[in-house]
Chains A and B, each alone.
Chain A
Amino acid sequence: MSSPDVAAVREEERREARENVAGVRALLDVALGYFVWAAHFLIVYVATAVSCQLGLGTAGAGTRTTFLVVLALVTVAAAAVVVLHAARRYRQQRDLPDRRFRMAVTIGNDAVATVAIAWQLLAITLVPVCT
């Protein structure tokens, strides 16, 4: 293959790759709230399951309270990340119609994710651990 042709093709490919990465990132960013939600969900679920198996149920009240406080802090932190993400997108993406659409969907997703995360606090505060 002749050399100038190759250079053009490479340039084209790099452009395509950048574009696709940016596209996928834009698409995933819309759902960032749910990735945080999923990570938070897995953390609290696995932590509960594993520590109950390791004997948290028979540990003293202090240990159990500490455990619940940690879970609650993780929950608040996760909700805060999602809310901050929504706020950033609100400031960044108000201009073009297509970006506005994505902003609206992003903020909506973040809102639902925040509720889904925050409701876990109800479980953490109201339900006894390891019974």
Chain B
Amino acid sequence: MTAPRDDTVTTRPREWTQEAAPVHLPYSDGPDGAERLYAAWARPRRFGLLTEVNNTVIGVLYIATGFLFFFGAGVLALLMRVQLAVPGNTFLDADTYNQFFTMHGTVMMFLFAVPIVEAVAVLLLPNMLGARDMPFPRLSAFGYWCYAFGGVLVFSSLFFGVAPDGGWFMYPPLTSAAYSPGINTEFWILGLGFVEISALAAAVELIVGILRTRAPGMTLGRMPIFAWYTLVTAGMIMIGMPMVIAADVLLELERAFGMPFYDATRGGDPLLWQHLFWLFGHPEVYIIFLPAAGMVSMMVPTFARTRQVGYAWVVMAAISVGFLSFGLWVHHMYTTGLPLLSLSFFSAASTAIAIPMGIQVFAWLATLWDGKPVLRVPMLFILGFLFIFVVGGVTGVMVAAVPYDWQVHDSYFVVAHFHYVLTGGMVFPLVAGLYYWSPLVTKRMLSERLGRWAFGLMFVGFNAAFLPMHVTGLLGMPRRVYTYSGELGWDALNLSASVFSFVFAAGVLVVAVDFVRHLRSGPKAEANPWNAPSLEWLSGLAPYGFRSLVPVTSRYPVWEQPEMPGEIMAGRGYLPDAPTGERETLVSTLVGSVPEQILRLPMPGWTAFVAALATAIVFGAMTVKLPTIGVAGGVVAAAAILSWLWSMDRAFPREPVDAGRGAVLPLYSAGSGSVGWWGMAVLLISDGVVVASFMFAYLFFWTARPAVWPPAGSPFPGFIEPAAIAVAVIGAWVFFEVAERRNRRDSRLATGLCLVASAVLAGSALAMGWRWLDGSGLTPTAHSYGAAVWLLLGYMALHVATGIAMALWSLARLALGMIDSWRCLTLRICLLWWRFTVPAAVLTLLLVAGFPHVVA
């Protein structure tokens, strides 16, 4: 075997690249080794299952929860179709209908589509990549429980008649306190803020997992294509989600404290919401579609029984879509009266995305032509997907054309268009994936016959319900109307759409029935029933995945490395059984995937569950305005999260461990090689997007009304105070930097003093900032200018305060001997925070102090 080395990076020669060398098997050739492995990865029983953090449990729970929300939102859709079946119907009143369509969209997008595609990745990716688990299993457990509790909180508002009713897009001013005084909107903002956090958690973990925990030898060019799609998706979530979180924060600040970000009467601008929301909302469509396309790309070669044609082309298409999707957001704002030229830029970008989409579709088609395809149920759903998705794609080109969109925007044409994109692009591949991967989880096969029925009903029902809806829209029917007049020629089209929506639902029901039935009576599945080429089929989805991690030398290891299953079972790979007796996986280099470190993973524990439950209680109590319970929940949540953080940075034993195949790898890394450092780095990118969104808001108010912003008579910020604050913040960072250096020499006293100095300087920066802002006469509620300044500085104050907390945290650990020159990851991660905070704070101060002078 040739070593897949990459000479842009310096790689040490590793034992595993010398295939001929005698393989050293330290642990694995007896039943003892296997028992150690099973013991480490044993699942807790009964209630203990709530403590499990392993991806095979969390992933299944995640997917099951996602499907529950899918059914719930689907029932809402059917009820709406009953209401719209005939003109002037009184089955649902206006309020109920508005809550239903809002919740249908919200639940489908935020509680079904995004979580479930992440869930599929959480369940399958580690094994596809030849890893044993995700790099941060507790974080995925925390993310899952946040999503489950937050989702239930949002959904339950329906049963009390206080569900959000401002549309899933929640445009202010309709959703501001003046026009939506009830708690309905709070359910949306707080509940979804919570769910968005869980999506970010999953994204961080997927990115680090894909980049750093791949099987040895699985270079970037050998990754299963699903991993590429997931990497792009997770990157998009990381950039996109913070924007909607920022928009939510502004809306909640306006609703709760009267800071006028969207209120045009006080200098705000409702368009700001639309920019921030669609900056996330358009990529959202691709966030949903790309992982589904990734699943399709895994299934097509299996059923075509040949390699994917144009692997590099498809990877390129996925990357293109990920990037270009961020240049499309105004696509949803063509009718807002922006200059025609600005709209046309977005039109060109929207159209450009058709090229990678075309490449993707034709790569699948070529693969089908290249092989000898077999038509099993998953393939049937993929064919359905191809047809429906292409229709959604070509109507997408239509709505990307500015003048055409002026007609069809917010009409039923668009309803039809995006149901084609999302149902075709995501639900059909998901059902295909359900039929395809279920045998891996349940060890039983779903029914081929029921599957065909389900496909027939879903395909016919879907197309008959939604294809004519394009015409309904062109005949002038707007979206989001609970009733319509019988004289406009929409009756027959609506009635047939309602009837066929039930046919589609019947198809979904058949899938559900088949799934429940197969759990008991489905025929037993073979280990690799479809003869698929990817690694997850060799794992049997055991909690530990593989008994040992054998180097990958091909894109299709199961087909092209026939010796692999035997080697895995014989323990001839890396990490045979469990060398440390704990749960562990390999950390490898980014490009060449050379093993670098053994990562010990957390065992089952209550922290993630308790932290999520308590956080849910905080958000729930905030929503329904019960401060006492909220504070109590907050204390519990903080305690759980702090104890979680306290348990991290495990540095011992210091001795490297024999990882099999002659490689001796460390158990601990304190530098940029550690996954914790990477997690923080990825998280800071998201945080940077939030900061950028707030700065965008500040500048946007000016571009909206350059003549009157900042408003006449508002005090100009001086330069002295911000300069002093900046010096203090920079000083705090420098002392932290010095502390880290001193710690390398184990000078504990100097390190401690530097940390104290850092905290003191940061504290003085906070105090100076408060005096400056409070004394400036700038009120946050009078005008959007004051609100934006308070927002920007407040957010930076939060960062500096976190920096203080980190200094104190490090000090405590230093005092207890938990930080020294060997064990210094904590210190370095905190330093990373400061390295982000300082430029962000300086930039913020420069903007706040300088910009009014520039435009004046």
Contact = CB atoms under 8 A, between A and B. Distances in A.
Interface string A53-81: 11001000000000000000000000000
Given A53-B704, A131-B340, 12 more contacts: A27-B220, A37-B323, A45-B342, A49-B342, A50-B703, A53-B706, A97-B221, A98-B591, A98-B592, A104-B313, A109-B320, A122-B348
A14 to B, nearest CB: 8
A82 B341 CA distance: 24
Interface string B778-795: 000000000000000000
Contacts of A17: 671-673
7 contacts: A27-B590, A45-B345, A49-B703, A54-B706, A98-B592, A108-B312, A108-B316
A108 B356 CA distance: 9
A130 B340 CA distance: 7
B327 A119 contact: no
Interface string B706-741: 100000000000000000000000000000000000
B345 A120 contact: yes
B686 interface: no
Contacts of A12: 666
Contact of B821 (A1, A108, A124): A1
A78 to B, nearest CB: 13
Contacts of B352: 112, 115-116, 119
B249 to A, nearest CB: 23
Contact of B312 (A16, A101, A126): A101
A104 B590 contact: no
Contacts of B666: 12
Nearest to A14: B671
Interface string B813-826: 00000001110000
Interface string A101-117: 11011001100110110
B9 interface: yes
B47 to A, nearest CB: 41
Contacts of A104: 312-313, 316
Interface of A: 1, 6, 9, 12-13, 15-27, 30-31, 34, 37-38, 41, 44-45, 48-50, 52-54, 57, 96-99, 101-102, 104-105, 108-109, 112-113, 115-116, 119-120, 122-124, 126-131
A38 B6 CA distance: 29
B706 A1 contact: no
Contacts of A126: 344
Given A48-B345, A49-B703, A127 B316 contact: no
Interface string B310-321: 011101110110
A113 to B, nearest CB: 8
A107 to B, nearest CB: 8
Nearest to A42: B327
Interface in B661-713: 666, 669-673, 703-704, 706
A115 B12 CA distance: 41
Contacts of B592: 98
A130 B344 CA distance: 12
Contacts of A108: 312-313, 316-317, 320
A115 B355 contact: yes
Contacts of B341: 48, 123-124, 127-130
Contacts of B487: none
Interface string B283-321: 000000000000000000000000000011101110110
User: How big is chain B's contact interface, by range?
Assistant: 35 or more
Contacts of B313: 104, 108
A46 to B, nearest CB: 8
Contact of A109 (B319, B326, B348): B319
B265 interface: no
Name, among A1, A105, A122, the residue most crowded by chain B CB atoms within 10 Å (CB to CB).
A105
B598 to A, nearest CB: 14
Contacts of A44: 345
A9 B656 CA distance: 12
Contact of A102 (B221, B338, B348, B596): B221
Contacts of B703: 49-50, 53
Given A19-B9, A123-B345, A131-B339, A98 B673 contact: no
B220 A102 contact: yes
Interface of B: 4-12, 211, 219-221, 311-313, 315-317, 319-320, 323-324, 326-327, 338-342, 344-345, 347-349, 351-352, 355-356, 589-592, 596, 666, 669-673, 703-704, 706, 744, 746, 820-822
Name, among B317, B344, B666, B704, the residue most crowded by chain A CB atoms within 10 Å (CB to CB).
B344
Contacts of B347: 123
Name, among B7, B320, B355, B589, the residue most crowded by chain A CB atoms within 10 Å (CB to CB).
B320
A127 B118 CA distance: 41
B320 A34 contact: yes
B383 to A, nearest CB: 27
A20 B672 contact: yes
Contacts of B319: 30-31, 34, 105, 109
A109 B9 contact: no
Contacts of B820: 1
A73 B339 CA distance: 21
Contacts of B11: 19
A19 B588 CA distance: 11
A26 B345 contact: no
Contact of A105 (B312, B338, B590, B822): B312
Contacts of A25: 8
A1 B822 contact: yes
Nearest to B706: A53
B671 A13 contact: yes
B323 A96 contact: no
Contacts of B349: 41, 116, 119-120
B673 A13 contact: yes
Contact of B327 (A15, A41, A131): A41
A96 B6 contact: yes
Given A20-B590, A109-B319, A26 B8 contact: yes
B476 to A, nearest CB: 26
Nearest to A57: B339
B215 to A, nearest CB: 15
Nearest to A35: B323
A16 B327 contact: no
A57 B12 CA distance: 62
B511 to A, nearest CB: 36
Given A45-B342, A53-B703, A116-B349, A98 B669 contact: no
Contacts of A123: 341, 344-345, 347-348
Nearest to B590: A23
A123 B346 CA distance: 9
Name, among B219, B347, B349, the residue most crowded by chain A CB atoms within 10 Å (CB to CB).
B349
A103 to B, nearest CB: 9
Nearest to B677: A20
Nearest to A44: B345
A26 B320 contact: no
Nearest to A55: B706
Contacts of A21: 672
Contacts of B316: 104-105, 108-109, 112
B672 A16 contact: yes
Contacts of A45: 342, 345
B621 to A, nearest CB: 41
A112 B355 contact: yes
B706 A129 contact: no
A14 B220 CA distance: 23
A97 B211 CA distance: 19
Contacts of B323: 31, 34, 37-38, 113
Contacts of A109: 316, 319-320
A119 B344 CA distance: 10
Contacts of B327: 37-38, 41, 116
Name, among A52, A98, A128, A130, the residue most crowded by chain B CB atoms within 10 Å (CB to CB).
A98
B6 A98 contact: yes
Contact of B4 (A38, A57, A98, A131): A98
Nearest to A56: B339
